[in-house]
Chains A and B, each alone.
Chain A
Amino acid sequence: MAGIRIENVTKSYGSLSVLKDFSLEVADGEFVVFVGPSGCGKSTMLKILAGLEEASSGTIRIGGRDVTDLAPGDRDIAMVFQNYALYPHLTVRNNMGFGLKMRGMDAAQIEMRVMNAAKILGVDHLLDRRPKALSGGQRQRVALGRAIVREPQAFLMDEPLSNLDAKLRVHTRAEISALHKRLGVTTIYVTHDQIEAMTMADRIVIMKDGVIQQIANPDTMFRKPANLFVAGFIGSPGMNFLRSPVTTMGGAAAVRLFGHDVRLEAPASLAGREIVVGLRPEHIGAGPGPVTFEITPRLVESLGSEKYIYVDVPEENRAQIDPADRQEEERRADTIIARLINPDERSAGERITLSFDPAHLHLFDAKSEVAIQ
């Protein structure tokens, strides 16, 4: 086990730069998740860590040892691949023992370690089968097993859950977390799914276009997103964005939302700037509150325990945010979503009262998209 230190790593293919100055320090035993939309460079960074790709510049240290120019096999890391990369011609036992055999370990010891790992993962009854005869979840476990028998300094996981169906994914997610707690091995996990990132990570590294947007633990990521991209990426449904010029009101900054002047907990010096106000769907409540407004929902979706209310945004508040930044469904700037827990019967077309607390508003500069603290 060891910490990992990534210093100023860049990667470019010709003139195309896919990683720009990536620096990160991972503590011993930490579970770090790289998350971002496809093409953000997260998998490239993982491959550079594994030694499968060469960094254009920068250094990588694992456990204090400079491994930047070492072959993958000499880095003492294990990797779990998205499609598991189990060898179809070998049995589960030989698949798991492959790395140890390549390192010339004697057969008895390999057998012992494979048995151990198989027991931990509950695949000891499958050892003589071939990968073809396994279900998706079992293959996933065998792939994990192949990583843990090596007892490496670090695990690298490249979207290991994306080939599983939704139910199994939730289950396996919890299992990987438990496995990490049990083994305590430094783990770097790549995913495009913010829920996986939020539920598993000690720290999240959120990336876009090869640039780190924010490094923080899941709670901080949710409460204090560093910019519009992070705010929109984390949380489901994504944060609502409303645009407004800043005015002053009683010595503090204020914005105009849904025809109401809303006083912000921010200094009056903001006045005159265009800002984007972020409001999470779950922070909009039913019934009157500090800022109350009455609307006619465009659409009401019921999920049983909660309802999503789609609300039209007044023209003046529509924020033009690049929808490609949004990972989930493409949200239009003219709609916000309110997420109401255990609401009464409501349907589209009926007028309802919604409210929110200005203390929950996130403020971002409209031009630079950076959070205003």
Chain B
Amino acid sequence: MKSRFSLDLARPSRRHWLGYLLLAPAVILIGLIIVYPLFVSIDLSFQNVNIARLDQPRRPFTIANYERLFTSPDFWNAVWVTLKLVVIVSLFCFLIGLGTALLVNNKFKGRSLARLLVALPWAIPEVIAVVIFAWMFDSSFGLMNWVFITIGLIDTTVNWFSSPNAAFFVVCVTMIWKGYPFVSIMMLAGLQSIPEDFYNAARVDGANSWQRLINITIPSLMPVLGVTLVLVMLWVFRDFSIIYVLTGGGPLKATQSLSIMTYEQAFSFFRMGYASAIGIVTLIVCVVASRLMIGRAPDNI
């Protein structure tokens, strides 16, 4: 006989206990490394703190950080840079990702190899990829200057990292290169879930390949497209290492996104209360943007 106090989780009335038990490690972990710091950060953003220490007494409540933030041209510059990055990088990631996915979705010899090559940039650690790009765009011995001069696009070497526009361009290129494989993989999965008969029916109905793309492929991909778009946008929003390693936010703050600005305020100028305020604003923008996008995803499929 079992003791009356044994924890028999197989009993139907106790089955939900097992669920909570299995969830517990993940919930506790998330609580410790995400939720708790988040609340600390919210708390800090309403204090005038320079170097945050948990053992220090709380400073008085103030909204000075936010007041300063919304009147600071640096902040609005960072917002503008981030917005430009999100729009340009997402757009090109989608065009290239969808294009490559459509290509490797065809049947041809060496398809597995082609799929691997498409996905490869995703597998390379971000910092390593960025260091390589920094070398390629080096102004005196970089590959890109040589290529552009050879094909005649430019006639003198470009100093990629000292001109604001060129630096922004380099950041975009690197981010697109690093970001499109994710879109490509998601789109490929989406493409493979479209029944072959949709295409057959459309072909019998006389739709040409462009009409099939517009009328069948794209609408069928919409649910995947929406989720992927949100994920890519959030990635661009919060990405730090690419910009930090390439340009450090310069020149003249031309590539200073919100995440770079947060880092700089917190760890270069040690204004952690102010940095927390930037972080919180970024978070709110991200939450609102992704809510809007996921809320708009079509529910008909």
Chain A residues proximal to chain B, CB less than 8 Å: 50-52, 71-74, 77-79, 81-83, 85, 87-90, 98-99, 102-103, 130, 132, 146, 150
The distance in angstroms between the C-alpha atoms of A89 and B300, with both chains bound, is 6
Interface pair A150/B205, CB less than 8 Å apart: yes
> B residues within 8 A CB of A103?
206
In B247-301, the 8 Å CB interface with A consists of 298, 300-301
- Interface residue B144 (Cβ < 8 Å from any Cβ of A): no
In B171-207, the 8 Å CB interface with A consists of 195, 197-198, 200-207
Interface pair B201/A102, CB less than 8 Å apart: no
User: Given that A85-B198, A87-B219, A89-B222 are contacting pairs, would A78 and B206 also be in contact in the complex, using a CB cutoff of 8 Å?
Assistant: no
User: Given that A98-B215, A102-B211, A130-B300 are contacting pairs, would A85 and B206 also be in contact in the complex, using a CB cutoff of 8 Å?
Assistant: no
> B residues within 8 A CB of A146?
201, 205
Interface pair B206/A74, CB less than 8 Å apart: yes
- Interface residue B216 (Cβ < 8 Å from any Cβ of A): yes
Interface pair A79/B201, CB less than 8 Å apart: yes
Interface pair A99/B205, CB less than 8 Å apart: yes
The distance in angstroms between the C-alpha atoms of A74 and B203, with both chains bound, is 9
| Number of chain B residues close to chain A: CB under 8 A | 21
Q: Which 10 A-B pairs have the closest CB atoms?
A: A73-B206, A99-B205, A85-B197, A85-B201, A89-B219, A72-B203, A102-B207, A79-B204, A72-B204, A81-B197
> A residues within 8 A CB of B197?
81-83, 85
Interface pair A87/B216, CB less than 8 Å apart: yes
> A residues within 8 A CB of B211?
102
The residue that A83 contacts in the complex, of B195, B204, B219, with Cβ under 8 A, is B195
Residue of B nearest to A143 (CB): B201
- Interface residue B157 (Cβ < 8 Å from any Cβ of A): no
The distance in angstroms between the C-alpha atoms of A79 and B200, with both chains bound, is 9
The distance in angstroms between the C-alpha atoms of A117 and B195, with both chains bound, is 26
> A residues within 8 A CB of B216?
87
> B residues within 8 A CB of A50?
200, 204
- Interface residue B50 (Cβ < 8 Å from any Cβ of A): no
The distance in angstroms between the C-alpha atoms of A320 and B103, with both chains bound, is 53
> B residues within 8 A CB of A85?
195, 197-198, 200-201
- Interface residue B77 (Cβ < 8 Å from any Cβ of A): no
The residue that B202 contacts in the complex, of A98, A130, A132, with Cβ under 8 A, is A98
Distance between A107 CB and nearest chain B CB, rounded to angstroms: 16
Interface pair B301/A73, CB less than 8 Å apart: no
> A residues within 8 A CB of B105?
none
> A residues within 8 A CB of B220?
88-89
Q: Could you jot down 7 A-B contacts, CB within 8 Å?
A: A51-B204, A52-B200, A71-B206, A72-B204, A102-B211, A103-B206, A146-B205
> B residues within 8 A CB of A102?
202, 205-208, 211, 215
Interface pair B222/A99, CB less than 8 Å apart: no
Distance between A159 CB and nearest chain B CB, rounded to angstroms: 12
> A residues within 8 A CB of B208?
73, 102
Residue of A nearest to B301 (CB): A88
Residue of A nearest to B200 (CB): A52
The distance in angstroms between the C-alpha atoms of A269 and B220, with both chains bound, is 68
9 other A-B residue contacts (CB within 8 Å) besides A85-B197, A102-B211, A132-B301:
A50-B200, A71-B206, A73-B208, A77-B204, A78-B204, A85-B200, A87-B219, A98-B215, A103-B206
The distance in angstroms between the C-alpha atoms of A103 and B215, with both chains bound, is 14
Distance between A240 CB and nearest chain B CB, rounded to angstroms: 40
Distance between B275 CB and nearest chain A CB, rounded to angstroms: 45
Residue of B nearest to A130 (CB): B300
Instruction: Output the residue of A50, A78, A82, A102 with the most chain B CB within 10 A.
Output: A102
In B199-256, the 8 Å CB interface with A consists of 200-208, 211, 215-216, 219-220, 222
Interface pair B203/A73, CB less than 8 Å apart: yes
Interface pair B300/A98, CB less than 8 Å apart: no
The distance in angstroms between the C-alpha atoms of A50 and B300, with both chains bound, is 30
> B residues within 8 A CB of A82?
197
> A residues within 8 A CB of B203?
51-52, 71-73
Residue of B nearest to A76 (CB): B206
Residue of B nearest to A97 (CB): B205
> A residues within 8 A CB of B198?
85, 87
The distance in angstroms between the C-alpha atoms of A77 and B200, with both chains bound, is 13
The distance in angstroms between the C-alpha atoms of A87 and B198, with both chains bound, is 7
The distance in angstroms between the C-alpha atoms of A71 and B212, with both chains bound, is 14
The distance in angstroms between the C-alpha atoms of A99 and B211, with both chains bound, is 11
The distance in angstroms between the C-alpha atoms of A77 and B203, with both chains bound, is 11
The distance in angstroms between the C-alpha atoms of A50 and B211, with both chains bound, is 19
Instruction: Output the residue of B197, B204, B301 with the most chain A CB within 10 A.
Output: B204
Distance between B299 CB and nearest chain A CB, rounded to angstroms: 10
> A residues within 8 A CB of B215?
87, 98, 102
Distance between B219 CB and nearest chain A CB, rounded to angstroms: 4
> A residues within 8 A CB of B298?
89
The distance in angstroms between the C-alpha atoms of A92 and B205, with both chains bound, is 15
Interface pair B205/A88, CB less than 8 Å apart: no
Residue of B nearest to A50 (CB): B204
Residue of A nearest to B212 (CB): A102
The distance in angstroms between the C-alpha atoms of A146 and B298, with both chains bound, is 24
Residue of B nearest to A74 (CB): B206
> B residues within 8 A CB of A130?
300
> A residues within 8 A CB of B219?
87, 89-90
Distance between A6 CB and nearest chain B CB, rounded to angstroms: 18
The residue that A81 contacts in the complex, of B200, B222, B300, with Cβ under 8 A, is B200
Interface pair B205/A73, CB less than 8 Å apart: yes
> B residues within 8 A CB of A90?
219
Distance between B58 CB and nearest chain A CB, rounded to angstroms: 54
Distance between A136 CB and nearest chain B CB, rounded to angstroms: 16
The distance in angstroms between the C-alpha atoms of A79 and B300, with both chains bound, is 25
The distance in angstroms between the C-alpha atoms of A90 and B222, with both chains bound, is 13
Distance between A146 CB and nearest chain B CB, rounded to angstroms: 8
User: Given that A52-B200, A81-B200 are contacting pairs, would A89 and B205 also be in contact in the complex, using a CB cutoff of 8 Å?
Assistant: no
Residue of B nearest to A86 (CB): B201
Residue of A nearest to B198 (CB): A85
Residue of A nearest to B206 (CB): A73
The distance in angstroms between the C-alpha atoms of A79 and B202, with both chains bound, is 10
